[in-house]
């Protein structure tokens, strides 16, 4: 038992939670912006992989994790251009295109990785910002206050997005586009413009999440490394109903569930990882069953919008 509570184990545990949770939070924030505006992007598993790969490549090329994040954002946006043009602009089916993005993202990144890096796998340089004073505190010092500066910037980003979604006209437009697109049009907004922004932001955040996963969480890229994390993000988005603080809370629960495996093993309890990977989906299913009457998703989710149509 003393093993479990030793400072180093606890610190490792907290670090694991942080690095597991952050990509998920970013992806879920991206998906939330898309979903609130009525775009259900089933492609984020693929977008995340593209972001992870492009982030990895950018970080290796530049030697900087920060550039890696930018690379991830760029990759995510590029991957989502397909969704933007075919769905948002041309009105073709979201589900089919989403699945296409997922499948192509998986295939392309796997092939590219095999071709370019699999023979000489390289690790990304880590970037740490020890905060003077606080970083020497036991347990939380080495885990929280020695994180990369990226960690702090992303926390700031979360707060900004939470504020933008909940308190600004822009957030209102996004929600209107998902709740009742025609009302947004009637109010003088543009559904097309709003959803375009939402899809691009969706790509940026999901790509960023992917880049965090490859550059910071694991320090390297492997094929299919997201392992369904994109779908977990979709599910967390459903549970959080557009509230960023709920995204953080539910993602943390997931992160803790995944990270607790190692400390549990130290005390001799082995719970198969599959249980934890299944857990969020079980929770969603239960929530959907219990609250089936009240809708969890925006009413216009998944439908294309044409101005002036019935």
Least distance to another protein from the beta carbon of 149, Å?
34
**Total interface residues for another protein by CB under 8 A:** 54
| Residue 9 phi, psi dihedral angles, 5° rounding | -65, -45
- For position 164 contacting another protein by CB under 8 A, the verdict is no
Is 120 an interacting residue with respect to another protein (CB under 8 A)? no
Shortest reach from residue 221's CB to another protein, in Å: 14
> Quick check: 193 and 184 in contact, CB under 8 A?
no
Pick one of 4, 5, 61, 95: the residue that binds another protein (CB under 8 A).
95
Binding of residue 192 to another protein (CB under 8 A): no
Return the residue of 14, 99, 140, 155 that touches another protein, per CB under 8 A: 99
147 sits near another protein (criterion: CB under 8 A): no
Contact flag: residue 2 with another protein (CB under 8 A): no
Smaller CB separation from another protein, 268 or 274: 274
**Under rule CB under 8 A, residue 277 binds another protein:** yes
Selected from 67, 104, 164, 249, the binder of another protein by CB under 8 A is 104
Tell me how many degrees the CA angle 214-249-272 measures, rounded to the nearest 5: 65
Q: Structure tokens of 273? A: 């990882």
Which residue do the tokens 């979903």 mark? 35
From the centroid of its chain, how far is CA 29? 6
Q: Which of 4, 7, 81, 103 binds another protein (CB under 8 A)?
A: 103
**180 is written with which tokens?**
């009742």
- Contact between 153 and another protein by CB under 8 A: the answer reads no
Q: How far is the CB of 208 from another protein (least distance, A)?
A: 23
Which DSSP helix (H) or strand (E) runs through 56? helix 44-62
**What is the x/- site pattern for another protein, positions 49-88, by CB under 8 A?**
---------------------------------x---x--
Burial, 12: exposed, middle or buried (Cβ in 10 Å; 0-12, 13-18, 19+)? middle
Burial of residue 24 (CB within 10 Å: 0-12, 13-18, 19+) is buried
End-to-end CA distance of the chain: 65
In the complex, the smallest distance separating the C-beta of residue 280 from another protein, rounded to whole angstroms, is: 9
> Least distance from C-beta 140 to another protein, angstroms?
33
Which residue blocks in the chain are alpha helix, DSSP H? 2-5, 7-36, 44-62, 65-83, 94-116, 140-143, 149-167, 169-179, 181-186, 191-211, 229-240, 244-259, 261-266, 273-290
196 binds another protein (CB under 8 A): no
Nearer to another protein, 107 or 121 (CB): 107
- Do 139 and 82 form a contact (C-beta atoms < 8 A)? no
Tokens of 261: 């495996």
Which one of the spans 26-34, 100-108, 180-188, 195-203 is the region binding another protein (CB under 8 A)?
A: 100-108
Structural contact between residues 44 and 249, judged by C-beta atoms closer than 8 angstroms: no
CA distance 247 to 14: 18
Which spans of this chain sit near another protein (rule: CB under 8 A)? Answer: 40, 42, 82, 86, 90-93, 95-97, 99-104, 106-108, 110-112, 114-115, 223, 228, 231, 234-235, 238, 272, 274-275, 277-278, 281-282, 284-285, 288-289, 292-293, 296-297, 301-304, 306, 308-310
């Amino acid at each position: 038992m003393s093993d479990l509570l030793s400072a180093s184990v606890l610190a490792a545990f907290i670090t694991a939670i942080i690095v597991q949770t952050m990509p998920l939070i970013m992806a879920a924030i991206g998906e939330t912006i898309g979903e609130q505006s009525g775009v259900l992007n089933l492609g984020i598993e693929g977008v995340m992989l593209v972001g992870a790969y492009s982030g990895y490549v950018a970080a290796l090329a530049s030697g900087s994790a920060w550039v890696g994040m930018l690379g991830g954002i760029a990759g995510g946006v590029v991957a989502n251009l397909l969704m933007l043009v075919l769905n948002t602009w041309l009105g073709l089916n979201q589900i089919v295109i989403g699945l296409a993005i997922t499948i192509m993202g998986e295939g392309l990144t796997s092939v590219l990785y095999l071709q370019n890096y699999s023979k000489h796998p390289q690790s990304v340089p880590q970037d740490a910002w020890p905060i003077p004073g606080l970083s020497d505190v036991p347990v939380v010092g080495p885990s929280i206050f020695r994180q990369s500066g990226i960690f702090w910037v992303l926390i700031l980003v979360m707060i900004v997005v939470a504020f933008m979604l909940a308190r600004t006209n822009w957030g209102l437009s996004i929600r209107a586009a998902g709740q009742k697109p025609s009302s947004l049009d009637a109010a003088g907004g543009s559904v097309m413009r709003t959803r375009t922004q939402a899809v691009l932001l969706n790509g940026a955040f999901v790509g960023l999440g992917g880049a965090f996963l490859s550059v910071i969480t694991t320090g390297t890229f492997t094929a299919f490394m997201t392992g369904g994390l994109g779908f977990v993000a979709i599910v967390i988005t459903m549970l959080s109903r557009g509230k960023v603080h709920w995204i953080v809370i539910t993602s943390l629960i997931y992160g803790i569930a995944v990270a607790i495996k190692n400390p549990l093993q130290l005390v001799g309890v082995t719970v198969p990882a599959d249980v934890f990977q299944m857990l969020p989906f079980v929770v969603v299913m239960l929530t959907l069953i219990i609250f089936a009457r009240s809708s969890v998703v925006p009413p216009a989710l998944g439908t294309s919008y044409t101005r002036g149509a019935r």
